[in-house]
Chain A
Amino acid sequence: MNCHETQRWLSGYLDGEVDLVSAVAIEEHLKTCARCAQAYANQQALQAAIRGSGLYVPAPVALQKRIQTSVRQADSSARAPWVVRRPWFGVAAALACVAILVWGLGRGWLAPAADDRLAAEVLAGHVRSLMTDHLTDVVSSDRHTVKPWFAGKLDFSPTVEDLASQGFPLSGGRLDYVDGRPVAALVYQHQRHIINLFSWPAPQATDTTAAAEERQGYHVIHWTKGGMTYWAVSDLNIDELQAFVQLLQQQIAPTPAP
């Protein structure tokens, strides 16, 4: 590398920003050329002088406070004016929320979170019963065998109906555990589909109509009647499961009016 080239790259060499081949060539040249070596020494001296001279000007202490304040102001004024200019908007929005809430409750949209949790629990119970080959503790299509089996195992006597003549033969029953208590699980069949019917005493005495929902491809129907809460879960299509629920409901006496 000659003087001209070396001078051209010297600054980059000083910063360690030239490629290795050039760096080696520059190094070689500096060993043999006193003038370029002096030029390099000058650049090193300049760099050291600037870096060591206290030319760095840090921000005044008050500036940070000033910036934080202005950011806060800019932020709130960028978001606030629309609502601030229209104070009625808040009132209107609140009223609209209440209206939607009331309407939604009436439509059963905003089902309490407890029902959501229970639906998840009974679905888990249904899936587990099929998974672990523990579908039934008592295998019988005779309700007079199944119903007495629960006696002494539960603090209530579950309704056990046989719907074989309507296409939903009873195949047995077992104990399950839902909502922090032991519950009755009756197993019905329809063709090759399994229906788990969970029941336990309802926390509130009022009857509710059947509410259906789909979860993970299963259908879940829930209702309360005659002081008992019922959950039917199956992979049956919704129409057939609803038909099953209607048949059952016809058999169960409603809660007597107080």
Chain B
Amino acid sequence: MRGTHDAQEGRRVQDKTQQMRFEQIVLPHLDAAYNLAHWLTRNDQDAEDVVQEACLRAFKFLGGFYGGDSRAWLLTIVRNTCYTWLRHNRAHELTTPFDETIHDVECDALNPEAQLLHHADQQLLRRALEALPVEFREVVVLRELEQLSYKEIGVIADIPLGTVMSRLARARKRLQHDLAKRWNGED
């Protein structure tokens, strides 16, 4: 039975190194993964499930990770897992049409929101961000909360750089209008 024992031992060692890689590559970005999943699912329990599922996928794909930006790599998996989850559980959110182009650009419509924003409390901001369509929400989360570059965001969301820029611009404009409305008690 020596052979079996050795084989088991070898497997254990292999498992160990694979699990060590997982702990070095994936686990350091668990907060980033959870934050993104939280904002895309807008629910703590769902976010936990999605992150767990995404981490299992990451573990499976670990052999295909040859170094580089491990956070962007993991966030791509988390984002895809989120979208799969959304398709199954919140299909209506993904079918809501959203306008990619920026129009109605006025220079004067935004006053005096700067003043407003200085006092915007967390609750207000949270609701405004949650109200954004998911495609806008994800770029804001990746940019403002994860502070990723447009290039990294483009890789994770699988969109061209120009789209990252226009989507963010549009998302910010929406947020400003939404916050102004909420502040004025219109919503």
Contacts and interface: CB of A to CB of B under 8 A. Distances in A.
Interface of A: 3-4, 7-8, 10-12, 15, 17, 33, 35-36, 38-39, 41-51, 53-60, 63-64, 66-68, 70-72, 74-76, 79, 90-91, 93-94, 97
Interface in B4-28: 4, 7, 11, 15, 18-19, 22-23, 27
Nearest to A33: B107
B143 A4 contact: no
Q: Which of A4, A11, A46 is packed against the most chain B CB atoms within 10 Å?
A: A46
Contact of A42 (B48, B51, B114): B114
B122 A55 contact: yes
Q: Range of interface residues on chain B?
A: 35 or more
A91 B1 contact: yes
B34 A58 contact: yes
Nearest to B115: A45
Contact of A75 (B3, B19, B105): B19
Q: Which of A15, A36, A38, A58 is packed against the most chain B CB atoms within 10 Å?
A: A15
Nearest to A76: B15
A54 B118 CA distance: 14
A93 B7 contact: yes
B140 interface: yes
Given A46-B176, A53-B122, A70 B56 contact: yes
A18 to B, nearest CB: 8
B77 interface: no
Contacts of B113: 42, 45-46
Contacts of B168: 11-12, 15
A60 B48 contact: yes
Interface stretch (B63-71, B85-93, B144-152): B144-152
B147 to A, nearest CB: 8
15 contacts: A7-B105, A8-B105, A8-B169, A11-B168, A15-B150, A35-B108, A43-B176, A49-B117, A50-B145, A51-B144, A57-B35, A63-B48, A66-B52, A93-B7, A97-B3
A33 B179 CA distance: 24
A57 B34 contact: yes
Contact of B55 (A54, A67, A90): A67
B165 interface: yes
Given A46-B179, A48-B117, A67-B52, 8 more contacts: A33-B107, A39-B110, A41-B114, A57-B34, A57-B35, A59-B35, A63-B34, A74-B56
